[in-house]
Amino acid sequence: MKTIEMIHPIEQCYDHEPCALAIGFFDGIHTGHQKVIEKMSHIAAEKGLKKAVMTFDPHPSVVLNPEKQRTDYLTPMYEKKRILENLGIDYLFIVPFTSSLAQMEERDFIANYFTKNKVKEVVAGFDFTYGKYGKGNMLKLEADKDGFEVTMVERHALNDEKVSTTLIRKDLKEGNIKSANKQLGRPYKITGLVVQGEKRGRTIGFPTANVEPNEIFVLPRLGVYAVTIKIEQTGKVFKGVCNVGVKPTFHDPEKQQISIEVNIFNFSDSIYGERVEVEWHDFLRPEQKFDGIDSLIAQINKDKEKAIEILNTLHID
């Protein structure tokens, strides 16, 4: 997959073959987004075009709504690229979402990013908007198209509720991992580096891998989870139980940063410095403060048993 950053002067970005284009922010690349990309891929194959995706960076809210700006993501750009490459996309166009882009008139956007950009087919969801004040929509795009065809993908729902990045973020924040995963079409994933921690877990018989995310991911609700962890270098996947939180039994929650710590089952190797992928399968309980070490150890054992029970029901590569 070739990544093309659409920087000005934009004409220098046009050195590529004619393509069919799926456009959107695509945070999460959830099942709704996948419908858009699948439709684009089908049209591209049918018409002998390259498969392309256009996304934006950062999220438009950073420019349009600073009070509610979104700076953490379900799929930060590195993860988004990885997923799209696995989907067989030929070109990824990254458009910087700046104040000048937000002020661009609809026809100028169409001309610069579609017509002159060798886009022959534009595919987007029913709610896609573009241009100054977001006045452009799919009906207007159909009316103003110039040198390309337009395909609108209808609303995608599960249990009569629209699949959306907003809903998935809400589910994660509430610990509704199964609901989030169903909408994503895969387990939610955070990637990062195993770094040195306090090593407190090993003193009570539960050594943990302290995972520092390599990008700004949406963190699930503070608490304990059944997870799997993949070591990128070896490709091996292990089951485990993960605590996301501030460890209130040992620290003042008001003064501590959130950590991601995974107790990996049947594992004793040192993996400091390794890049890992943590996949979230189920929420076990909220983070809580215990009266002492003994009650903490008893609860961790219960968490481990529950996680093993859950993970044994899953097909894990």
Rounded to whole angstroms, the Cα distance separating 244 from 177 reads 13
Q: Is 261 a catalytic residue?
A: yes
Of 106, 261, 277, 279, which residue is the catalytic one? 261
Which residues are designated catalytic? 261
